[in-house]
Amino acid sequence: MSNLKELTWEHHKEAERQEFVKVLMSGNIHPEFYATYLWQQHMKYDLLEALVSVTGKTHHIEDIFRKRYIMEDFMELWPHEDPLLRCLVHMHMLII
C-alpha cells in the first residue's frame, strides 16, 4: 500500500495551484485577508483541540496545540475596533 504522501500528492499539488495559496505563499497578502484566514484556522483548531482534549490523550502533545498562537496573531493583525468582537475574542482568550 502507498504511503500517505503518495496518496495525497495530487490533492496537495491542486491546493498549491489555488490563487489564494499563491498569494499567501508570496508574502504579499493583505494583512486583513491574512487575519480572516487566521480566524478561520482558529475555528478549526479550536474544534480539533477540544476533541483531542476530550479523549484525555493530550500527554506529550500539548506543544502541537496552535489555537492560542493563531488567536494572538489574529488580534495583532485585525484592524477593526468592533467592541463586541474585541470583547468576545478577549473572553475566548481567557478560556483557552
The predicted structure's pLDDT at residue 1: 44
The predicted structure's pLDDT at residue 94: 54
**Nearest alpha carbon to residue 64 among 48, 75, 77, 79:** 48
| pLDDT tens by residue, the chain, 96 residues | 468 888 899 988 998 888 888 888 898 988 888 888 898 899 999 998 888 888 887 777 777 889 999 989 988 888 777 656 665 665 565 555
The predicted structure's pLDDT at residue 64: 82
Cell reading at 12:
496537495
The predicted structure's pLDDT at residue 84: 61
